[in-house]
Structure 1
Amino acid sequence: MTRSVYVTGIDRGDGRQVIELGVMELLTRQVDRVGVFRPLVHDGPDRLFELLRARYRLAQDPATVYGMDYHEASTLQAEQGTDELLSQLVDRFHRVAREYDVVLVLGTDYADTQFPDELALNARLANEFGASVIPVVGGRKQTAESVVAETRNAFRAYDGLGCDVLAMVVNRVAAADRAGIHELLDNRLNRLPVPCYVLPDEPALAAPTVAQIAHALGGKVLLGDDAGLARDALNFVFGGAMLPNFLGALTPGCMVVTPGDRADLVVGALAAHSAGTPPIAGVLLTLNERPSDLVLTLAARLAPGTPVVAVETNSFLTATELFAMEGKLNAATPRKAETALGLFERYVDTGDLLKRVSAPSSSRVTPMMFEHKLLERARSDKRRVVLPEGTEARVLHAAEVLLRRGVCDLTLLGPVDQIRKKAADLGIDLGAAQLIDPATSELRDRFAEKYAELRAHRGVSVELAHDVVSDVNYFGTLMVQEGLADGMVSGAVHSTAATIRPAFEIIKTRPGAAIVSSVFFMCLADKVLVYGDCAVNPDPDAEQLADIAIQSAATAEQFGVEPRIAMLSYSTGTSGSGADVDKVRTATELVRSRRADLRIEGPIQYDAAVEPSVAATKLPDSKVAGQASVLIFPDLNTGNNTYKAVQRSAGAIAVGPVLQGLRKPVNDLSRGALVGDIVNTVAITAIQAQAQLSPPPPTSTPTSTPTSTSTPKASPQ
């Protein structure tokens, strides 16, 4: 039977889109096929569904999402009664429910409707759908006592109408009151029989983006790019004062509103943004006045990408419209979605709520489910990850996602002023991220002494080490070694060798690991496979290949992939011979002798490893053939080309390379990595750090590093 979750409210303005988005995130972690149903809809685009469809790659036909519009529903109710209205809505709901494992139902919005008792209508719909209910209570501009009373009354109302209430959510309360309201709801006198979650009001969610402002006011964009237009306007500063006083009024993320003939304020605001003191959202010019072309050219050079928008109205009318405007979650505001999810995950016990939903677990592991679980695990025990490429735009975008979602703590390396300016130009809020410039950091002398100690056998002096450790990858690696960070991710603009050579020199291999190797998590449409080694070792011998297989099995298990190892070759079983096949056969036997508990097959061809029909012909008695999850390639040439072929031809998401065998986690990125790839790799690094035992005691005698990894020869990523 389909399990459905009905998110509803008791009045307008509760901001329940945050909860609807958060519940969708929870459901897609657990279930492959999630449907959406909105019983009643207004005319015009449904912003939330468009966001859900884009973010969660929903294939659902939009025509099936909606029951009927409010006008049709009110007419039907007036002419044929409530029972007929409910009958038709239930029938349309079940058309969706038959196609999906779970359905998220989006309740009515209490906005311009003609139903006398909308709460009772939502309750009855939930009961007829067989859905559990999550009521949302809006707490904006209310006292703590009134919020508590309203929450208790809302629970009684839905519970009294026979609803299965999963949890109560109080949203948009004043940040200063959140803890007090939570405490009141949790005390013995007020406690309800279901969990009550309290979320504070988040200004960034209510703030309109510059693009939304321009659209609403009919403005013309004179300057700015897509990233600039996506910035949130957190507040408004109206220009009328002389420049020195005006500059003192600027605040981070503000939208400057000024008559278009005040070129001094336009240039001054953009110059302040360029210096990062403070970064602004953009400039809105009123009175249909525009600066000269010379001023606009200067403005574009001062703050590339920062929006300058012109409107025809005067400052007073513009202000009236601006203060009535509120930001909306939609497909065009992905950063708001990250903020909303971060808020939901910070204040809702998502693990407990998911258990209460009791959604059926999918037997498949989809890419989205895998990615969700990565973020969830990383968030459960936050670690600090250092990102050496702090001025790279993709890294900054990924950092913002990670910080908004509360996945881990971050340190970004590079010239601090450049990082801040780049972030300001991209409209990125780095929040509590730590920024360090290796060239000027007080840690540089300490790291130079440490590196010289570790590399003394190579004749490295403190003076030479002082230059070496100013390199961001060496500096970041030393932060990990010295316990100032738990892991490092680099490689978006650096080669594999530049990224991992410092790790070989400083962190070295962990006990029991013969070499450092790598895996990719290949997220296919219906499963996740682990490929090793596709990035580090050019031509491993049988001993090294066996070590790669054992390490890869451990990595797979660590990330929830049951290891069934296929040792790949151009022949299967005893059908072929030759040095290359013999190497794989020997490696397979070595694994069996060292780890009898692992399921392994080899030599085996790729098709026999993953396709049951081929396996039934070639190796009918194998416990691995046809269902392998860990595929070990005989050499780098084969592995690197195969992962890229599958990635591009099959549309797979390749997460990695994930390094294994190091004492502490350092991971490499492809230089073509997308923002999502960086987010996933950082999450994996944080999870690896969680699994680390206490660091080994410092030693002045470096352990030997195998020759196969002393100088990385990985293929270009």
Structure 2
Amino acid sequence: MTGIDRGDGRQVIELGVMELLTRQVDRVGVFRPLVHHRPDRMFDLLRARYRLTQDPASVYGMDYHEAAAIQAEKGTDELVSELVDRFHAVTRDYEVVLVLGTDFADTQLPDELALNARLANEFGASVIPVVGGKGQPAESVRAEARNAHRAYQGLGCDVLAMVVNRVAAEDRTVIAERLQARLPVPCYVLPDEPALSAPTVAQITRHLGGTVLLGDDSGLARDALGFVFGGAMLPNFLAALTPGCLVVTPGDRADLVVGSLAAHSAGNPHIAGVLLTLDERPGDEVLTLAARLAPGTPVISVPGYSFPTAAELFALEGKLTAATPLKAETALGLFERHVDTADLLRRLSVARSGRVTPMMFEHELLEQARADRRRVVLPEGTEERVLRAADVLLRRDVCELTLLGDPDVIGRMAAEMGVDLSRTQIVNPQTSELRERFAERYAALRAHKGVTVELAYDVVSDVNYFGTLMVEEGLADGMVSGSVHSTAATIRPAFEIIKTRPDAGIVSSVFFMCLAEEVLVYGDCAVNPDPDAEQLADIAVQSAATAARFGVEPRIAMLSYSTGTSGTGADVDKVRTATGLVRERRPDLKIEGPIQYDAAVEPSVAATKLPGSEVAGQASVLIFPDLNTGNNTYKAVQRSAGAVAVGPVLQGLRKPVNDLSRGALVQDIVNTVAITAIQAQETSI
């Protein structure tokens, strides 16, 4: 990745390319030939987000002062030679290396563009030049992009694609069309995204040396999308507030502090926070009232006067860092909306690793869901983790969302958390016009159980029943619940309303167990207490299909306390019979059973107990004989091995409904929603 000047927002493209590379290969290295400061914030972001284990010392070639001295004393050839040696030291340990070009900022190096081109050629690396278009007219941007391509190509570089970044949104389409007609390589054009250049309240606080009087981490993570300076009387001041603004006012204006926080609490509009100048602080009674009006909203005190503070604020730009994960999600969403990622990945010519790592699995989920976006309903719309997951899903354009709950409560919570739900449908089951229609539908479905419309009217106000009926009626494509509800409360409505597919004997479940080096599929660990042989065979076939649907090659191990023919008894016989049924129904599937867990996953044990088996020692789908065994095993592996357990993912329903663990993390919810959206793609065919 390289550029031609400062201010091109290249970090968005670097993050996006890293996302593509980590979808394909397990070990991705990073190399920045020249660096201003160590640690480097972009590498810190990549290391945190992509769990890189690379030694930071190997990432950096040298700092600019050292480079300038070498170039001045020994010449460019010597500088390049040293950087090439350090680059190749990285390539020995990694399948692919992302090179971050120089940043054209405060350097003493002549002709940096030519140096970047020379390094790319010596490294044997392809180049993606990035051109910044912020504040430039469309024709100027087009000319600069053509000149950049000509410059790098003229210096012998293999130019994979061009990226024009930070253009005016209204110019994006015409710039893209004209450049595509003029350039021999793809040219991706990204609009300027204000949220990326907006500093967070935390960044502003650090920059100005401020003191946090009120506010939590969530509030400090909000983007300051603008600044409103207080000086007018309260009524006029309130009229000037804008969504996401940071209120800047002298610290002795308690009326403006309380008024702006009251407006935020009422949603008219939601603000980022309040910045108090002159090192003046309101009294304790005012701060107590402020904390009650808008819990979590930052109130910051800075020592400077209003005018110099304003000058610093207007010069401050937001940065992508490891401490701004929401900005990273926004950046990736922007990249994925405007870059043909499939084509760019093909051009990168990176061979996919032979195994599926947990990170590859997670990336693939989001990519598959995004490819054909579906609507997922989340009944627990007033749960904080669900709202944070919704924020990530929306920023990444993974799917459309419907949240259930009181819109006022959800809106207030979202504002306190800095979550933008402007693209989300919010439905209150208690007051929705759909409630009557759903009551009639549910009463018809459950008439054989004596359910009347009057009774159904009360039942369907429950968020899980309401969400399930949205799926049944085609108003949503899938549902995810369970972060604060029991498994029974989540899936009982699905059993009553959606029911099983014609080709499925039962509804069952799997967990995707994301271990350090691989992803395994465990079934059934959540639904069926003691399946018989017929049901166990059905679980195995369903689980194999689910595994294949999500990129895990199915090699089925039918687990038991005995391997092969070594044991007898009713429990072993059940597994042996189920294995035979699967072989009869699906002779194309690789399956082994009965088999013990260690023989299923450990090659050395398999070589002793089942030599020559195409499943033993390398099983990817593990079917447990009963719920007791499966549930305890998945939890033991999750806790003792530090595995991420995604699920339970239900299989066998006509339309997708999935359950969450009540201890689910935000990323667990994101993954489960993506899985549900992918299942919905399949059921709609």
What interval of TM-score do these two structures reach, taking the shorter chain for normalisation? over 0.9
TM-align CA RMSD:
0.9
Contact 2:579 2:592 in 1 (8 A): yes
**1:305 aligned partner:** 296
Q: Deviations over 1:674-701 (max 9, x none)?
A: 000000000000000001145xxxxxxx
Query: 2:371: which partner in 1?
Result: 380
After the TM superposition, which residues 43-192 of structure 1 pair with which residues of structure 2 at under 5 Å, given as runs? 43-187=37-181, 191-192=182-183
Find the residue that maps to 1:305 and give its secondary structure: coil
- Counterpart Cα distance in 1 of 2:187 and 2:460: 50
Contact 1:551 1:660 in 2 (8 A): yes
1:222-251 CA deviation, whole Å, 9 max, x = no partner?
001111111100001111122222112111
Q: Which letter maps to 1:487?
A: G
Deviation of 1:44 (Å): 4.6
1:661 is aligned to 2:652 = yes
- Matched residue, 1:553: 544
Q: Which amino acid aligns with 1:386?
A: V
Partner Cα separation in structure 2 for residue 273 and residue 639 of structure 1: 48
Aligned counterparts, 1:469-508, within 5 A: 469-508=460-499
Amino acid at match of 2:563: T
> 1:575 aligned to 566, 569, 586, which one?
566
- Decide which of 351, 364, 386 is 2:342's aligned counterpart: 351
1:614-633 → structure 2 map (5 Å cutoff) = 614-633=605-624
Aligned AA (1:631): L
Q: CA deviation at 1:601?
A: 1.2
Alpha-carbon distance between aligned partners in 2 of 1:587 and 1:564, rounded to the nearest angstrom? 15
Mapped contact 2:356–2:552 kept (Cα < 8 A): no
Give the secondary structure class of the aligned counterpart of 1:74.
helix
**Which aligned pairs between 1:271-670 and structure 2 lie closer than 5 A?**
271-670=262-661
Stretch of structure 1 that moved more, 310-319 or 664-673:
310-319
Cross-structure match for 1:242: 233
SS in 2 for 1:654: strand
> 210-219 or 571-580, which moves further after superposition?
571-580
Cα distance in 2 for residues equivalent to 1:182 and 1:246: 42
Partner of 2:25: 31
1:263 match: 254
d(CA) in 2 for partners of 1:44 and 1:286?
A: 33
For 1:684-699, what aligned pairs fall within 5 Å after superposition?
684-693=675-684
Contact 2:508 2:527 in 1 (8 A): yes
Q: Structure 2 length as normaliser, TM-score?
A: 0.99
1 CA distance for matches of 2:39 and 2:229? 33
**Contact 1:101 1:360 survives alignment (8 Å):** no
The 2-side partners of 1:124 and 1:147 are apart by 25
Which letter does structure 2 place at the counterpart of 1:614? V
SS of aligned partner of 1:601: strand
**Offset at 1:218?**
0.6
CA distance in structure 1 between the partners assigned to 2:287 and 2:28 by the alignment: 49
Q: By how many angstroms is 1:45 displaced?
A: 3.5
- Structure 2 Cα separation of the partners of residues 272 and 502 of structure 1: 40
For residues 612-667 of structure 1, give each alpha carbon's deviation from its aligned partner in whole angstroms, at most 9, with x where no partner exists: 11111111132211111110001111001101111111121111100000000000
Instruction: State how far apart, in whole Å, the 1-side matches of 2:460 and 2:269 are.
Output: 31
Q: Distance in 1 between matches of 2:529 and 2:259?
A: 55
Equivalent AA in structure 2 for residue 414 of structure 1:
G
Higher mean C-alpha deviation, range 588-597 or range 626-635? 588-597
Give distance in 2, aligned partners of 1:410 and 1:397: 13
Does the Cα contact within 8 Å between 2:68 and 2:109 map onto a contact in 1?
yes
- 2-side partners of 1:621 and 1:120: how far apart? 57
Q: CA deviation at 1:176?
A: 1.2
Instruction: Tell me the SS of whatever aligns to 2:632.
Output: helix
Deviation, 1:610, is: 0.9
Looking at structure 1, the residues matched to 427 and 171 of structure 2 have their Cα atoms a distance apart, in angstroms, of 35
**In the alignment, which residue of structure 2 is the partner of 1:708?**
none
Q: Contact 2:120–2:157 at 8 Å: present in 1 too?
A: yes
Unaligned runs of 5+ in 2: none
Identity %: 83
1:63-103 alpha-carbon deviations (Å, 9 max, x no partner): 11111110110011000011000000100111011111100
- 1:519 and 1:659 in contact (8 A); partners too: yes
Q: Which amino acid aligns with 2:5?
A: D
Q: Deviations over 1:240-269 (max 9, x none)?
A: 122222112111111011111111111111
Counterpart Cα distance in 2 of 1:163 and 1:466: 68
- Post-superposition Cα deviations, 1:137-171, rounded to whole Å, max 9, x if no partner, equal 00011111111111000000000000000000000
Residues of 1 paired with 2:569 and 2:350: CA distance? 52
- 3-state DSSP of counterpart to 2:97: strand
Aligned-partner Cα distance in 2 for 1:114–1:522? 51
**Alpha carbons 1:480, 1:487 under 8 Å: kept:** yes
CA distance in 1 between partners of 2:460 and 2:564 (Å): 50
Moved more, 91-100 or 585-594: 585-594
Query: Does the 8 Å contact 1:403/1:431 carry over to 2?
Result: no
Provide the residue aligned with 1:216 in structure 2.
207
Query: Is contact 2:443-2:452 (8 Å) kept?
Result: yes
1:295 maps to amino acid? V
Q: Which runs of 5+ in 1 are unaligned?
A: 1-6, 695-717
The structural deviation recorded for 1:212 is 0.4
Change (3 A) 1:44 1:564: closer
Counterpart contact for 2:537–2:579, Cα < 8 Å: yes
Q: Deviation digits for residues 441-465 of structure 1, max 9, x if unmatched? A: 1111111111111111111111111
In structure 2, how many angstroms separate the alpha carbons of the residues matched to 1:693 and 1:399?
23
Q: Partner letter of residue 470 of structure 1?
A: S
Q: Distance in 2 between matches of 1:134 and 1:600?
A: 46
Give, in angstroms, the shift of residue 274 of structure 1.
Answer: 1.4
Work out the CA distance in 1 between the residues paired with 2:65 and 2:395.
Answer: 39
**Aligned-partner SS, 1:132:** coil
Question: How many residues are treated as equivalent by the alignment?
Answer: 685
- Large movers: runs of 4+ above 3 Å: none
1:11-59 CA-partner distances (Å, limit 9, x unpaired): 1110100000100001000011100000011135311110001001110
- Cα 1:441/1:281, change in 2 over 3 Å: same
Structure 1: how far apart are the matches of 2:614 and 2:65? 60
Give the residue type in structure 1 aligned to 2:389: A
How far residue 431 of structure 1 moved from its aligned partner, in angstroms, is: 2.9
CA distance in 2 between partners of 1:653 and 1:77 (Å): 49
Code of the residue aligned with 2:15 in structure 1: it is: L
